[in-house]
Structure 1
């Protein structure tokens, strides 16, 4: 049963407590990684992205264009840095383009 608080708490604090209690952080990180990819890379690259998967600290990106995959492979470190800045934490350590 959920615990009750005698004092008033903010909705943000209540949601954070709910996420921590139910161990939902990993699932939210996966969703946030997908949103960060779309925000950082823009519509042009998102159009060629067929699948995004976050597994541990590695982000797997499936692309439909081999030319784009080769072009993005030159800037993997910069992409990882931009994604982590967008996420606000060091969530991604490695980027794999497929």
Structure 2
């Protein structure tokens, strides 16, 4: 059980401490990446996205359209940069489109 501190903490600081103490950051990153992908890519791409999976520093995106996969493959670096900026830290280093 965690030790109780007598000092006052803001809720955001308390949540950060809780996440770090319980090693939940990797799981939160997985959820946040899925949300960032949906938000940044919009409905057009999301309609053809069947799976979004983060494994270590590699993001796997499964698409049902080979034409869209080819089109997105030209902008992989830009997509990685946009997703990392949206997340506020460098979570993704490699993008694999399936």
State the superposition RMSD in angstroms: 0.7
Q: How many residues align structurally?
A: 98
2:24 alignment counterpart:
24
Length-normalised TM-score, structure 2: 0.97
Displacement over 3 Å in runs of 4+: none
SS of match in other structure, 1:81: helix
- Per-residue CA deviations over 1:12-68 (Å, capped at 9, x if unaligned) read 111111101100000000001101101111111011100000001100000011110
Gaps of 5+ in 1: none
Matched, 1:45 2:45: yes
Q: 1:75 & 1:17 partners in 2: Cα distance? A: 36
1:64 alignment counterpart:
64
Length-normalised TM-score, structure 1: 0.97
